[in-house]
Amino acid sequence: MPEDTEVKLNELTALVKQLLSKREPQIVEEDHFITTRAPATDIQVYPELIETLSSIEEYFLRTPLTEEERKDAI
């Protein structure tokens, strides 16, 4: 490989490494007992969905089974 080509290849490799280091998140652990979490997100129901399923405004995540049905399922 000619010297000029090798020099250019090394320069390009250095530039790619530099770009990748800027792109990757730089994680610095300050305390092993602290964990960073993603922020909470509030979700809104589409108005069309509320019109179609009016019961969705009630507690959405509740189980539709009665206590007895839940015991039978377990």
Q: pLDDT tens-digit profile of 49-58?
A: 888 887 777 7
Burial label, 59 (beta-carbon count in 10 A; 0-12, 13-18, 19+): exposed
CA 1 to chain centre: 45
- The Cα–Cα gap between 12 and 59 comes to 57
Predicted pLDDT at 24: 66
- The Cα–Cα gap between 73 and 68 comes to 9
Phi and psi for 70 in degrees, rounded to 5? -65, -40
Q: Does the reported pTM lie above 0.75? A: no
Q: What is the DSSP letter of 44?
A: P
Predicted pLDDT at 63: 65
